[in-house]
Amino acid sequence: MAKILLLSPPYLDLYGELSRAAGRYFPLGLGYIASYLRKYGGHEVSIYEPEAQGLKHEDIKKIVKNSKADVIGLTCSTPNFTRAVELAKMCRDNSKARIVLGGVHATAIPEFIIKNYSDVFDCVVVGEGEITMLELVDAFKSNSHLKDIKGIVYKDNNRIVRTEMRPYIDDLNSLPFPARDLIPQNLFVPNSHNARYKNCITILTSRGCPFNCSFCAARLVSGVRYRMHSADYVLEEMEMLKRDYGARQLLITDDTFTINHERLIKICEGMIKRKFNLEWFCFSQVNVVNKELLTLMKKAGCYNIGFGVESADEEIRKRMGKNIRSSDVISAVHTANKLGIKTQTFYILGTPGETKQQMEKTIEFAKEVNSTLVFFNMLVPYPGTKDFDYYFSETPLEDIDWRNFVAIGEHCVLSKNTAVEPEEIEKIISKANLNYYTSPKRLFNVLRNIGSFYEFSNYCIGGFSFLKQIFKWAG
């Protein structure tokens, strides 16, 4: 048996003015790895999420020292990669453990990371981490060679080695539920705009995305083939979350929860039959829902749904790989609105070649769509995406400040090759948000969809933070 310490680097302050509105979520990726290591390896595992647990630098250092861990695993996204490096250095100075990095950013540029940070990372995991991490722990424990472990990048005598890609896990039901017991779940809270109840828990019911959006890096880890937990597995997990953790609200974090209609219907009917009385949010695509499905989802507790629209311009959507029609957007959102489901639509400004006129077209279209909440986001081209290659292919990776790659950040990271200047994109987004939310009609739509005092108080906190950021973008 080995001792494994899993850590999630801090990130909230990277949101700047919006940090008070940002959520603190249980790290599901680490949770799955922890439960897999316990079930299939019999290993002793602990997880720490410093921000949710209120842990400072000295607290983490003490945890690392006292853990006597054999292996330390860290995960990171792009904006908190720098924090992951700092955390790994602290681990290296205070532990003899082997240190492993995984996550979407690590999967996108593993050779770069090993080349530049092999002094703090012994290995980088590429893709899904459960099986790979178990094999790594066993290899480290027995001092075996790493060459036969699929899905990793490491250094061997100053030579960078990348092993064969690990196949994606076909049977997701073979994965035990994430090890949520390792951190008190009441420490985690959702983003302000998704907060209806304090007892809110995240759940992931599928992996992989068949869509090919130019800006999305999620498919780097989970692949393009859509794989699902069965409806029975999902219902059992939901029941456990309500029974053991007192869940009142679920955030379903699948890229698109509504792809497989047969499974979706089974889940919704199961929630109704078992009288879960849970309210939940999910992401969807406008062309994979209809009135019948949305009606059933509403009956099963879906109070909030998010649609990625991205642009109103057909040419821009085509460049994005976004195969939807404007008529589908209007139909899906208006149908959900009429059913009393809170709607969110997401738009991206700054796609390669996008002009100011095309951006303004999107902003006007958003008003016609009339979702409860709208998010006008500056493009953040993450490593491993087509948009990153367009904007940063000639930029040395070591010259990039990854801390600026925040989904809803303070500054536009597009420094060149843009049809519209970065500062102008910020101003356009500032004006778009002000125009949308100062409309009495749309403000009323926001207020009438509030279902609890907790949701109202979070709107107040989040709204004030958002307003401050809007004025910053305006300059």
Same domain for 213 and 144? no
Same domain for 380 and 231? yes
pLDDT score of 45: 98
Considering only CA atoms, which of 159, 153, 164, 71 is closest in space to residue 113?
153
Number of alpha carbons in the 13 Å side-chain half-sphere of residue 449: 26
pLDDT score of 303: 97
Same domain for 150 and 108? yes
Handedness of CA 229, 233, 238, 241 (dihedral sign): negative
pLDDT score of 271: 98
Same domain for 213 and 146? no
Same domain for 249 and 137? no
For residue 141, what is the domain's CATH number?
Answer: 3.40.50.2300
Same domain for 423 and 284? yes
The reply to whether 374 falls in a domain is yes
HEC letters along the chain: CCEEEEECCCCHHHHHHHHHCCCECCCHHHHHHHHHHHHHHCCEEEEECHHHHCCCHHHHHHHHHHHCCCEEEEECCCCCHHHHHHHHHHHHHHCCCEEEEECHHHHHCHHHHHHHHCCCCCEEECCCCHHHHHHHHHHHHHCCCCCCCCCEEEEECCEEEECCCCCCCCCHHHCCCCCHHHCCHHHCECCHHHCCCCCEEEECCEECCCCCCCCCCCHHHHCCCCEECCHHHHHHHHHHHHHHHCCCEEEECCCCCCCCHHHHHHHHHHHHHCCCCCEEEEEECHHHCCHHHHHHHHHHCEEEEEEEEECCCHHHHHHHCCCCCHHHHHHHHHHHHHCCCEEEEEEEECCCCCCHHHHHHHHHHHHHHCCCEEEEEECCCCCCCHHHHHHHCCCCHHHCCHHHCCCCCCCCCCCCCCCCCHHHHHHHHHHHHHHHHCCHHHHHHHHHCCCCHHHHHHHHHHHHHHHHHHHHHHC
Same domain for 211 and 156? no
Considering only CA atoms, which of 48, 50, 41 is closest in space to residue 2?
41
* Residue 28 vs residues 15, 129, 278, 334: alpha-carbon distances, Å: 21, 12, 20, 33
Q: Indicate the residue among 127, 162, 197 that finishes a domain.
A: 162
The reply to whether 182 falls in a domain is no
Same domain for 318 and 417? yes
pLDDT score of 397: 96
The reply to whether 176 falls in a domain is no
The reply to whether 248 falls in a domain is yes
- pTM here? 0.95
Same domain for 394 and 266? yes
Same domain for 453 and 339? yes
The low-confidence residues of the chain, meaning pLDDT below 50, are none
Residue 424 tokens read as 């102008």
Same domain for 221 and 138? no
The reply to whether 291 falls in a domain is yes
Structural domain of residue 285, as residue ranges?
189-474
Residue 227 CB neighbour total at 10 angstroms: 14
Task: Indicate the burial class of 218 (C-beta count within 10 angstroms; 0-12, 13-18, 19 or more).
Answer: middle
Same domain for 365 and 222? yes
pLDDT score of 292: 97
Number of alpha carbons in the 13 Å side-chain half-sphere of residue 196: 19
Residue 10 tokens read as 């801090």
Domain count, the chain: 2
pLDDT score of 381: 95
Q: Indicate the residue among 125, 143, 162 that finishes a domain.
A: 162
The reply to whether 378 falls in a domain is yes
pLDDT score of 409: 82
The reply to whether 98 falls in a domain is yes
Length of the chain: 475
Residue 24 CB neighbour total at 10 angstroms: 15
For residue 301, what is the domain's CATH number?
Answer: 3.80.30.20
The reply to whether 170 falls in a domain is no
Considering only CA atoms, which of 85, 112, 79, 78 is closest in space to residue 99?
85
Planar angle of CA 312, 314, 317, nearest 5 degrees? 80
